[in-house]
Structures are given as C-alpha cells and as structure tokens.
Amino acid sequence: MDTGLRRDRVAAARVARLATVSPAGAPHLVPICFVLIGEHIYHAVDHKPKRTPHLRRIANLEATGRASLLVDEYDEDWARLWWVRLDGTGRVLPPGPESDAALEALVAKYPQYRLARPAGPVLALDIATWRAWPP
C-alpha cells in the first residue's frame, strides 16, 4: 500500500483504536474519533458518557508517553482488507494554539462536534512510524 493511500485511508476513517500502556506495562485500548494533521493524530475527550473523569488513556500518556493508533477496514471479501498502525509519542495538550487547531479540525470532520464541541483535554499522537497491511 503506497504512502499516499495509507494517509488518505487514515484521514478518511471515522473511527480508530487508540492503544496506550500503563507504567506497569498493561495495555489499554479504546475506540476514538480523531483527525490527522501532518504527522500528528489528534483526539479530544468529548461529551459522551464516561465512567470517570480520570481517564486511563490520559494517565497512561502522562506516565509513559507511549501510544499507537490502529485504523482498519474489514470486508467479507478478504481481498479488500487493510489496516494502518501509527506508533509514536502521546501527549496531553495544554490549552493553546495547537489544541485550538486540533479542535477546529475535529469539529470540521465530525458534525456531532458542531452540536457539542469537546470540552475535555486534547490528546496528540506524534507519529514516528507508519505500518500497514497490505504492505
């Protein structure tokens, strides 16, 4: 899969799975809405109900900074299967220009955010590597 196709598929995807790891090495995986800007993935904690305001993904990023994002497509026709995994460093953004730009891009991509703009922190994944199948 060529680099442009990988980028196009990631940018167009509506949902992905964000993986973080705890200081003890325990994996944590959650589905997220996201946006790709340059070599960064952005995700905001939104208004959907959460069990606690102290989200494990945030604690894990603050503790380890390790994260991966998996975007994939399943089809009963296995010739149409694909996935792209982005590995890198995760950050919790402070309020400011980077966070504001990420929120604007998320609002532009997801109509639901136009009705209820995310109020939680913005998380960033600074992409170090792109891996994909088919290669």
* Domain boundary assignment for the chain: 3-133
Helix, strand, coil percentages, rounded to 5, for the chain: 30, 40, 35
Length of the chain: 135
CATH homologous superfamily for the domain 3-133: Electron Transport, Fmn-binding Protein; Chain A (2.30.110.10)
- Model confidence at 50: pLDDT above 70: no
Confidence bin at 52 (pLDDT 50/70/90): low
Question: What is the torsional sign of CA 66, 90, 55, 83?
Answer: negative
State the pTM of this model: 0.92
> Stretch 20-31: mean pLDDT, rounded?
97
